[in-house]
């Protein structure tokens, strides 16, 4: 493990779940091929928060109180709402304060902008991702808004992220008055549905959102 990953672990919380055992082997099967580097990271610390919860790395394991890798990457979960907009085989292992996702494959580490349904490579592997992240940890985690919002309100709890009242993708502002602490699973389902609706219309077209229970 390189010095950047070691440094990231050093400024993070305690592990969110105990290390998984042989009885949890089916968890690994459910996710398919997991990059060895991600397993090594989670063996050192099985999920954690960092930078006042602005960064959340998911643990591997079963828990009613923690988002875990298997639950989060379930094909019929929030990913399903994005449909063909999210077709590439990526395991999402972490998120920023707004619920933008960091994903990993055998080819690269990606950042998925969840409202815009856009995914881009940010690093060639997990070690490189730690270097990239720590070089711009405020920008890549959303720390400044996370810090100010929590000072004025309360700590963001496990399962929550800061959700815009007016989605950013339709002009919502990146400021404290447009943010609330909401359940990220429900927010991601909504974002997937919204992204599919917006993908069907040209830029600048007036829209009428179709919102359903997700």
**pLDDT by 10-residue block (mean), the chain, 214 residues:** 90 92 62 82 96 96 78 92 87 97 93 96 96 97 98 96 96 96 97 90 64 49
CB 42 within 8 A of CB 80: no
Please write the tens of the pLDDT for every residue from 23-55.
556 666 666 678 889 999 999 999 999 999 999
- Please state, as a whole number, how many other Cβ atoms lie within 10 Å of the Cβ of residue 157: 10
According to the model, what pLDDT value does residue 214 have?
43
Q: For residue 48, how many other CB atoms are within 10 A of its CB?
A: 23
Residue 131: HSE in the Cβ half-sphere, 13 Å Cα cutoff:
10
pLDDT tens, position by position, 60-89: 887 666 788 988 999 999 999 999 988 778
Helix H segments across 45-113? 69-72, 78-82
**Could you tell me if 119 and 110 are in contact, meaning their C-beta atoms sit under 8 angstroms apart?**
yes
Dist. CA 199–CA 65, nearest whole Å: 34
User: For residue 84, what is the DSSP state?
Assistant: G
Q: Which string of b and e fits 125-153 if b means at least 16 CB within 10 Å? A: bbbbbbebbbeebeebbbbebbbebbeee
The predicted model scores a pTM of: 0.91
What pLDDT score was predicted for residue 200?
Answer: 80
Q: For residues 169 and 107, give the distance between their C-alpha atoms in angstroms, rounded to a whole number.
A: 28
As a whole number of angstroms, the distance between CA 128 and CA 124 comes to 6
In this prediction, residue 66 carries a pLDDT of: 72
The kind and range of the H/E element at 206 are: none
d(CA 74, CA 52): 27
Rg (CA), the chain: 17
Structural class in CATH, domain 3-199: alpha beta
Alpha helices in 11-90, H assignment, sequence order? 25-31, 36-44, 69-72, 78-82
Mean pLDDT of all residues belonging to the chain = 89
């Amino acid at each position: 493990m390189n010095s950047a990953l070691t440094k990231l672990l050093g400024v993070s919380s305690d592990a969110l779940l105990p290390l998984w055992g042989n009885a949890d082997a089916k968890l690994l099967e459910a996710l398919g091929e997991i990059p060895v580097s991600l397993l090594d990271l989670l063996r050192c610390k099985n999920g954690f928060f960092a930078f006042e919860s602005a960064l959340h790395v998911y643990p591997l394991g079963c828990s009613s109180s923690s988002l875990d890798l298997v639950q989060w990457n379930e094909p019929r979960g929030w990913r399903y709402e994005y449909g063909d907009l999210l077709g590439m085989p990526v395991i999402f292992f972490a998120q920023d304060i707004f619920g933008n996702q960091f994903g990993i494959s055998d080819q690269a580490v990606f950042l998925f902008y969840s409202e815009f349904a856009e995914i881009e490579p940010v690093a060639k592997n997990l070690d490189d991702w730690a270097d990239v992240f720590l070089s711009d940890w405020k920008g890549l985690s959303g720390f400044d808004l996370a810090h100010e919002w929590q000072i004025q309100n309360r700590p963001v709890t496990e399962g929550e992220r800061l959700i815009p009242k007016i989605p950013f993708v339709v002009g919502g502002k990146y400021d404290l008055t447009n943010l609330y602490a909401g359940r990220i699973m429900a927010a991601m389902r909504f974002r997937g549905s919204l992204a599919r609706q917006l993908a069907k219309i040209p830029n600048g077209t007036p829209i009428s959102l179709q919102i359903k229970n997700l």
